[in-house]
């Protein structure tokens, strides 16, 4: 008489599901979305922080899902260009997929008009997008940190800046060597820097100010005397944020996240900033 067939343990089945889901290619995010719709158990696995951390560690650098593009707005309530997210076509898309130009046009339908107000994209890093509300009075201005995957939003009080400024959003543990594989749900910092008079008798000065999610407030500004700067996109390397080119480009304004200080460093002998 044949022995009865034994059923695999629930733990074995659960571990097998995890092993299978970990092998889904990150460059095809549609596979992850479809897998999350199979059942509640699979959705719980895919959204669990431990799974996300392990998935990021295995696949390392996340793929490029898309980019933000300024789309023309024909709405009277939202004048001027509005940022919209344009997804990058993947290999899973068939031959009849729309071209890049039609993708941009289609994305305009989903332009960022959160709370019925257009937003300007200032920075995008570590799974978060930093935006600023546009075309409103000063008392209604604000900045917003948005997680496009989870939909989480954190509104920041508006920090009045000079006409030319630079702002970055980053993981709060960036200065402590975070690998940024699974920190998108953790605390963040927003660094804003500009060059202006700032109501000081010393003339034009560079200013940097940091917003902390943990403190829910802007910190004390750091000032230093500089002028003749050129605006450029900020770059983060370790615990250093490189902000502006100074004078004729022979110096760079740097902010130290650990010491909370502004420095001017010499540019390389041959550079193209």
Q: Do residues 17 and 45 touch, judged by C-beta distance below 8 A?
A: yes
Q: For helices 40-47 and 29-36, what crossing angle results, to 10°?
A: 130
E runs forming strands in 182-221: 188-196, 205-212, 217-218
pLDDT confidence of residue 108: 44
User: In whole angstroms, what is the distance from residue 255 CA to residue 223 CA?
Assistant: 11
Q: Which residue from 124, 130, 127 is spatially nearest to 52, judged by alpha carbons? A: 127
Residue 126 to residue 181: CA distance in whole angstroms: 8
Q: How large is the average pLDDT for residues 49-75?
A: 76
For residue 269, pLDDT over 80 is answered with no
Question: Looking at domain 116-266, which of 2.60.40.10, 2.40.40.20, 2.120.10.80, 3.90.1170.50 is its CATH number?
Answer: 2.120.10.80
| Exposure string for 125-145, b = 16+ CB within 10 A, e = fewer | bbbbbbbbbbeeeeeeebbbb
Phi, psi (deg, nearest 5) at residue 243: -105, -70
What is the rounded distance in angstroms from the CA atom of residue 55 to the CA atom of residue 163? 42
Among the listed residues 257, 181, 189, the one whose alpha carbon sits nearest the alpha carbon of residue 222: 257
223-240 residue pLDDT tens: 877 666 666 778 888 888
Residues 6+ apart with CB under 8 A from 213: 145, 154, 172, 187, 188, 189
> pLDDT band for position 9 (50/70/90)?
low
Q: Is the confidence at residue 178, as pLDDT, over 60?
A: yes
What pLDDT was estimated at residue 258? 85
Q: What is the pLDDT of residues 140-173, one digit of tens each?
A: 567 888 887 677 888 888 777 766 678 899 888 7
Whether 124 and 68 have beta carbons less than 8 Å apart is answered as yes
Structure tokens at 151: 């939909």
Q: What is the pLDDT of residue 210?
A: 92
Q: pLDDT tens digit string along 81-137?
A: 677 777 776 554 444 444 444 444 444 444 455 555 667 888 888 778 898 876 666
- Could you tell me where the DSSP H helices lie in the chain? 10-22, 29-36, 40-47, 49-59, 100-107
Domain with CATH 2.120.10.80 in the chain: 116-266
Indicate the average pLDDT of the chain.
Answer: 74
Determine the pLDDT at residue 238.
80
- The residues, ordered by sequence, that sit 6+ positions from 73 with a Cβ below 8 Å of its Cβ are 79, 80, 81, 82, 108, 111, 118
Give the model's pLDDT for residue 232. 72
């Amino acid at each position: 008489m044949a022995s009865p067939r034994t059923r695999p343990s629930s733990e074995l089945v659960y571990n097998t599901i995890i092993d299978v889901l970990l092998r889904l290619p990150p460059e095809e995010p549609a596979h992850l979305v479809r897998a999350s719709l199979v059942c509640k158990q699979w959705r719980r696995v895919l959204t669990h922080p431990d799974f996300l951390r392990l998935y990021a560690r295995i696949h390392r650098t996340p793929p490029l899902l898309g980019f933000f593009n300024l789309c023309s707005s024909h709405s009277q309530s939202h004048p001027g260009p509005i940022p919209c997210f344009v997804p990058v076509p993947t290999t899973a898309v068939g031959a009849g997929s729309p071209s890049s130009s039609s993708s941009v046009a289609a994305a305009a339908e989903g332009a960022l008009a959160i709370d019925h107000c257009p937003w300007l994209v200032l920075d995008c890093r570590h799974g978060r997008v930093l935006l600023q509300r546009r075309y409103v009075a000063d008392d209604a201005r604000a900045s917003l940190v948005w997680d496009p995957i989870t939909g989480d939003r954190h509104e920041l009080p508006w920090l009045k800046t000079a006409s030319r400024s630079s702002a970055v959003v980053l993981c709060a543990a960036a200065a402590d060597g975070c690998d940024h594989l699974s920190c998108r749900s953790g605390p963040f910092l927003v660094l804003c820097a500009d060059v202006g008079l700032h109501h000081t008798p010393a003339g034009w000065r560079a200013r940097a100010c940091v917003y902390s999610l943990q403190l829910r407030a802007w910190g004390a500004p750091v000032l230093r005397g500089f002028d003749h700067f050129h605006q450029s996109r900020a770059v983060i390397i370790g615990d250093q944020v490189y902000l502006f080119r100074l004078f004729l480009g022979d110096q760079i304004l740097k902010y130290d996240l650990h010491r909370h200080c502004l420095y001017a460093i010499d540019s390389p002998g041959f550079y193209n900033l």
